[in-house]
Amino acid sequence: MAAPKNRKLQSQRRKPDKPKIEPSRLKPIGNSRPPAATVAPDPQATDRETDLIYGIHTVLAALRGKRRLNRVWIAERMRYDPRFHSQLLQAKATGTVIDEVSYRRLDQITSHANHQGVAATVAPYAYINLGELIAKAKSLSEQPVLVVADGITDPQNLGAIIRTAEALGSQGLVIPQRRASGVTSTVMKVAAGSLEFFPVARVVNLSRALEELKEAGFWIYGTAASASQPIQAVKFTGPVVLVVGSESEGLSMLTQRYCDLLVSIPLLGHTPTLNASVAAAMSLYEIFRQRWENTLNLGNNVKNS
């Protein structure tokens, strides 16, 4: 009788068989894939932020633009501000809900952001098709300038690039769908209303987008700190695409291969690189400085800041 008992104990102690793993489920090890912590979040996961906007300039631009506002929260002393009063009446007439709330409530709604007494929910940002962007840019200028952001994950940087590009006369922006910031509420806030007049195309394959831009007659210029060609030595004529990379990574090697020319901004100090939005601003200014009078989009409306 002892033997069966021992066999029973042995069977209880027996370790379970390891599950069979199908080859398709095997995960690479070593350096074949970056650790999860280093992978940029999918921007589609953060696009919910585009439903909420806040700040005087951002909300005013949305009220004056074509996007529908679902609801506006506004502080009592702001509601009858001359800048808002007529705009709110028009929005209410089209079905927008207007709520007069306290600053404490606005703090709750915006998670204590700098709302300046007003916030709103809008339909998510509507990206434009790349082909439409190209056609629109060419209709606005004989020498259009488009900006391509390669891997800009910081929404503050992206918003600043949009604001500067629109202010100088660029006709639009191209961003990748993955591993980069989309147009979120933070981007809208930093852009300070520029997005109501500045189209953004979001593409699945950035390399293919650069090919399409080349086929449409654009010259592709990439910014790179290591480039031997200083930007002021380049003559920017015809349709131009300026490609800027992130501050930490710069342009990817694949993106660099699709550029017709890499240019650098000469730096005389000890700081080796510039913030991505600053580099974009300096590069764009040089482009427009060279041919200010030839850009139809600016016409006679050039203003001194």
Distances (CA, A) of 145 to 174, 285, 286: 11, 11, 12
What are 13's two structure tokens?
């102690």
Which residues partner with 236 through β-bridges?
Answer: none
The pLDDT of residue 2 is above 70:
no
Which residue in the block uniquely carries the two structure tokens 């300046």? Answer: 116
pTM above 0.85, yes or no: no
The phi, psi pair for 23, rounded to 5°, reads: -55, -35
Which residue in the block uniquely carries the two structure tokens 């390669």? Answer: 150
Contacts of 218 (CB under 8 A, 6+ apart): 134, 144, 146, 238, 239, 240, 241
List, for residues 105-138, the tens digit of each pLDDT value.
999 998 898 899 999 998 888 899 999 999 999 9
Question: What does the alpha-carbon distance between residue 305 and residue 1 come to, in Å, rounded to a whole number?
Answer: 98
High-pLDDT (> 90) share of the chain, % = 45
Average pLDDT (49-56) is: 75
Q: 20 falls in which pLDDT band (50, 70, 90)?
A: very low
Question: What does the alpha-carbon distance between residue 57 and residue 135 come to, in Å, rounded to a whole number?
Answer: 29
> What is the average pLDDT score of the chain?
81
List, for residues 54-88, the tens digit of each pLDDT value.
888 889 888 887 677 889 999 988 888 888 888 89
The pLDDT of residue 295 is above 50:
no
List, for residues 200-250, the tens digit of each pLDDT value.
999 999 999 999 999 999 999 999 888 889 999 999 999 999 999 987 788
Q: 144 falls in which pLDDT band (50, 70, 90)?
A: very high
